[in-house]
Structures are given as C-alpha cells and as structure tokens.
Amino acid sequence: MNRKEFFAKVGFGAATVLLPACIAGLATSCSSNNEESTTAPTTVDFIIDISTGSLATDGGFLVSKNIVVARVDATTFLAVAAACTHEGTNVNYVSASKTFHCPNHGANFSSTGNHLNGPGTGNLKQYNVSLSGNSLRIYS
C-alpha cells in the first residue's frame, strides 16, 4: 500500500465514523422556528435578603435559581424566568423602561414577561413576590 492509498482509506474511515454525528447535528440545529426549548422553573419558593447587594437599590437585579429578580422601587419587585424564550440566554432588567432585554439577539419583554419584540414569540413566566422587611419571597 502506498501513501496515497493509505490516506484515502484513513480519510474514508474517518468520514464513515463522523458522518452520522454531523448529520444529527445539522438536523437538531435546523428547526422550523429557530426557537430552543426554554423551560421555566415550575415549583419555586425561596427568599432573598434585599438589604445588601444589587437588590438594595432601585433598578438593581440579579439572577437566582434561573429567575431574574428586579427592584423597581422600595416596595415593587419583579420576578420572571431568566431564560429568553428564543435561545435561553439570561435576560437583563432595564430599569429605565422597566422591561427585560436579551443581550444575545435583542428580544424584549414587558415587566410582566410578555414578549414585546425581537426573536422568539413566547412570554417569560412571571412569579409572585412578597416583601416582608428585608426578606423578599419569590414563589410560584
């Protein structure tokens, strides 16, 4: 066997092994609506101390347990699923407009998680909040 024949056989063998994986990857990346499944947390019940950190000031937000929690003002807090309905990137809170924005592809959501514009069509799941002193409860 000469060098040319050797490389031809090795190349064919590699192609035989890799081809099924390549085809599977193409099939899963080409959906009709380009939306990834983003499952919002369902059973939610936790408490955050708002006396320190990003929730200590108006306009601050954080992501905890796959939920974005944002402080609008001293008594108003918002909580929605963190994963954008387009491709699952965590959304950010925009205090000037009281909306949520996906930095990946530009989707925008209202303060209640309703899809406003940009890629994707689904809404972000909204969660209940209850403030008691410096303890903020987020629950479903």
Q: What is the pLDDT of residues 15-54, one digit of tens each?
A: 555 545 544 444 333 333 334 446 888 999 999 999 999 9
Place of tokens 């929605």: 80
pTM for the model: 0.73
Does the pLDDT value for residue 121 go beyond 50? yes
Tell me what pLDDT residue 29 has: 36
| Single-letter code of the amino acid located at 94 | V
More confident residue, 140 or 28: 140
The three-class DSSP label of residue 127 is coil
Q: What are the b/e assignments for 27-60, b being 16+ CB within 10 Å?
A: eeeeeeeebeebebbeebeeebebeeeebeeeeb
